[in-house]
Structure 1
C-alpha cells in the first residue's frame, strides 16, 4: 500500500468512526471496519490464482463456510503469525464490546463507568485513554460547565478509540510474507 493510500485509508477510518453519534453506532461501525480489514488481509493471503488454493480455500471463506465469522478469522490470522497477540486480544475485546453495547441498546453512553472499565481492558485503548474518565467525576458546577466537560470527555473517549482502532487496522494492512 502506498503512503498516499495508507493516508486515505486512515482518513476513511477516522471519518467513519467520527460520524457515529452514539456508542452503539460507534462499536457497530468499528466491528464493520475490523471485518473489512481482516477480510482484505485474508483475501491477500488466501485468495490466490493457484487452482489448488482457490479450490480448497474458497469454500472455507464463503459466507456459510467455517471461516466466515470474524472471531474465527482473527484466530486463524493469529495462528499464522499475521496478527500480534495484543491486537488479537484487543479485536476480541472489541467484538465483546460490540455485543455488550448491542445488548445495552442505544441507551449506553460513552462515559458510562461500565463502558470505560471495559475500554481500559483493551491494551491499545488503555495506552491512550486517561485513567480518570467517568460520567460521575464532575463536581457541582453550573449546568453548562458540566455539559461542556461531559462533551469534552466524550470526545476524549472517541478520539482515543479512533486512534487505537486505526493502529490495530494498520497492523492488519501491513505487508506480510504470506501476501
Structure 2
C-alpha cells in the first residue's frame, strides 16, 4: 500500500473511533473495522476468479455461512498463519469487550465508562495495550479534594485509554493488510 494510502487509511480509522462517545459505540466501531479489514484479507486469499474456488468458498463466506462471524474468521486466518497469535488474541478480546459493553448497555440505560474497573480489567488483557498504557494512569481519588480535579483526571484517563486503544486497533489492522504468500 503506498504511503499516501496508508496515511489516509490510518486517518479514517482514527476518525471513526474518535467519533465514538461511549465504550459501546467504540467497541462496536472497532469490531466493524476488524470485520472490514478481515473481509479484505479473506477476499484476497479466497475469492479468486477460479470457478471452483468461487463456488466452493462463496457460500461459506456469505452472511448465513459458517465463516460469516468475525470470531470464526479470525480462527481460520490464525490457523492459516495469516494472523499472529497476539493479534488473534487481541481481536478475540475486542470481540469479548464488544459483547461485554453490549450486555451492559442492554441491562441499564447508562453506558459503561472506559475507566470502569471491570472494563479496565478486560482492556488490560489486550497484549498490545501493555506496551502503551502509562504506569501512572491509575490514581487514588480519595486524596483529591475537588470534584472538578477528579473529573478532569477521569476525562484525561479516559482519553489516554481511548487513544491507546485506537493505536492498538490501527496496528492490528495494518497487520491484516500486509501482503501474504496466499494473497
* TM-score normalised over the length of structure 2: 0.93
Give RMSD over aligned pairs: 1.2
Q: Is the CA contact 1:119–1:126 (under 8 Å) kept in the aligned structure 2? A: no
Partner of 1:137: 140
Q: Is the CA contact 1:61–1:68 (under 8 Å) kept in the aligned structure 2? A: yes
SS in 1 for 2:31: helix
By how many angstroms is 1:143 displaced? 2.0
Partner of 2:20: 20
Aligned length: 178
1:21-71 per-residue CA deviation (whole Å, 9 max, x = no partner) reads 111110111010111111110011111111111111111111111111001
Alignment pair present for 1:104 and 2:66: no
Partner of 1:41: 41
Structure 2: gaps (5+ residues):
none
1:102-135 per-residue CA deviation (whole Å, 9 max, x = no partner) reads 111142101001111111111011211234535x
Alignment pair present for 1:121 and 2:125: yes
Structure 1: gaps (5+ residues):
none
SS in 2 for 1:107: coil
Q: Is the CA contact 1:116–1:133 (under 8 Å) kept in the aligned structure 2? A: no
* TM-score normalised over the length of structure 1: 0.95
1:127-179 per-residue CA deviation (whole Å, 9 max, x = no partner) reads 11234535x73232212211211111110000010001111111001111111
Q: Mapping of 1:1-179 within 5 angstroms?
A: 1-105=1-105, 106-134=110-138, 137-138=140-141, 139-179=143-183
